[in-house]
Amino acid sequence: MRTDDDSWDIKTSVGSTALFVAAARALAGRAPDAPARDEFAELFVRAAGPEWVDLLEGRAPEHPLLTPDFGAQFQQHQIARTRYFDDFMTAAAAAGIRQVVILAAGLDSRAYRLPWPDGTVLYELDQPQVLAFKRNTLTAAGHKPIAERHEVAVDLREDWPKALREGGFDPDAATAWLIEGLLIYLTPAAQDQLFDAVAALSAPGSRVAIEQMDPLPAEAVAAMSEGDDSGSEWVSMIYNEPRTDSTEWFAGRGWTGQRVRLTDYIRDLGQTLHSAGPQQQSLISLVTVTR
Ligand SMILES: C[S@@+](CC[C@H](N)C(=O)[O-])C[C@H]1O[C@@H](n2cnc3c(N)ncnc32)[C@H](O)[C@@H]1O
């Protein structure tokens, strides 16, 4: 169960979700028609230990990421969202934005992977031990970021705007913000606080990209909770409560934006939906708002 001030490393609690989604990206990116690729995902997953190497090398056929229902759907979800947020960043850079903030960066490799224009400064916020795993892995492999990358080791339920400013963030410069795979790990109140902070730090021209998920139906939660697998563990980490709709929240403050259902987005990418799995995919939306 979660508490208001819990913390974690890359293998425990919410930190382990960063590894899980990176593994999904690594596996999904192998498909010839994958809509995106994250060549750093495999590096992180391999560094996490032998059980993760087994997953990548086909020695863990029972792993949840490889099941024909949940696994296939989850991989499809992850790689589609990678594409959506890659495109968001590329468009922001093309529009002249040179300051980027990735909230709950986890094992996001965009600082190393996307063709950032010279002068782009990128901030990654996450728990200290998650950022340390990432830094150690990248340093050991000799990788250098393309953007000027700054780590801000912080809990996003605390005064992260202060830490971000102290890290060099310029509130007068337009910013591209990313909130991917985060909101369900925050209470609805913590989400509202996060949005307040993002809006307060956003100069005109700023943009925010968000993954949001509607609450799971009670029956789905009950069914998942009964198991003793990664599904029940995950359900115990999320706050499955009604929360502010991202697009409406920003629209109410004068921002403009669009929201697309993940399932529609996957179809728009020309992919066939894996419909055999749980209903989770249909609860997810991808949102872009601009000030
Ligand atoms: C599912 S992962 C997503 C990581 C990354 N955005 C991605 O999509 O690959 C969730 C991330 O949120 C981070 N996170 C969740 N709650 C947080 C909090 N209160 N403070 C800092 N980081 C948090 C976790 O450490 C983890 O890295």
Distance 201 CA to ligand 1 centre (A): 20
- Nearest-CA residue for atom 9 of ligand 1: 108
126 Cβ below 6 A of ligand 1: yes
The pLDDT value given to residue 274: 86
pLDDT band at 182 (very low <50, low <70, confident <90, very high): very high
> Which residues, 6 or more positions from 198, have their beta carbon under 8 angstroms from its beta carbon?
103, 177, 179, 208
Reply yes or no on whether the pLDDT at 13 is more than 90: no
User: So what's the pLDDT on residue 10?
Assistant: 86
Q: Where are the domains of the chain?
A: 67-290
* pLDDT band for position 8 (cuts 50, 70, 90): confident
Mean pLDDT computed over 244-263: 97
pLDDT interval class at 9 (50, 70, 90): confident
pLDDT of residue 117: 98
5 Cα–ligand 1 center, Å: 14
For the Cβ of 107 lying below 6 angstroms from any atom of ligand 1, the answer is yes
Atom of ligand 1 nearest to the CA of 14: 24
**Beta partners for 125?**
103, 152
pLDDT digits (tens, 9 = 90+) for 146-173: 999 999 999 999 999 999 999 999 999 9
261-275 mean pLDDT: 94
Determine the pLDDT at residue 280. 84
- CA-nearest of 145, 138, 150, 143 to 44 is 138
Shortest CA distance to 124 belongs to which of 154, 153, 102?
Answer: 102
Q: Which residue has the higher pLDDT, 281 or 103?
A: 103
Nearest to 265 by CA among 35, 68, 72, 92: 35
pLDDT class of 139 with cuts at 50, 70, 90: very high
Which ligand 1 atom is nearest residue 190's CA? 19
Model pLDDT, residue 95: 98
- Residue that has been written with the tokens 């830490």 in this structure: 163
Give the Å distance between the CA of 181 and the centre of ligand 1: 7
Nearest residue (by CA) to ligand 1, atom 24, is 15
Residues 83-111 have pLDDT tens digits of 999 999 999 999 999 999 999 999 999 99
Average pLDDT score over residue span 62-70: 92
| Confidence (pLDDT) at 161 | 98
For the Cβ of 14 lying below 6 angstroms from any atom of ligand 1, the answer is yes
67-290 — its CATH code?
3.40.50.150
Q: Is the CB of 15 under 6 A from ligand 1?
A: yes
Higher pLDDT pick, 145 / 275: 145
Which is nearest to 82 in space by CA: 98, 102, 97, 57? 102
pLDDT bin (cut points 50, 70, 90) of residue 137 is: very high
Distance 53 CA to ligand 1 centre (A): 22
Spatial separation of the C-alpha atoms in residues 290 and 94, rounded to whole Å: 14
The pLDDT score that the predictor gives to residue 220 is 86
Ligand 1 contact, 108 CB (< 6 A):
yes
Beta bridge mates, 290: 207, 256
Q: DSSP letter at 150?
A: E
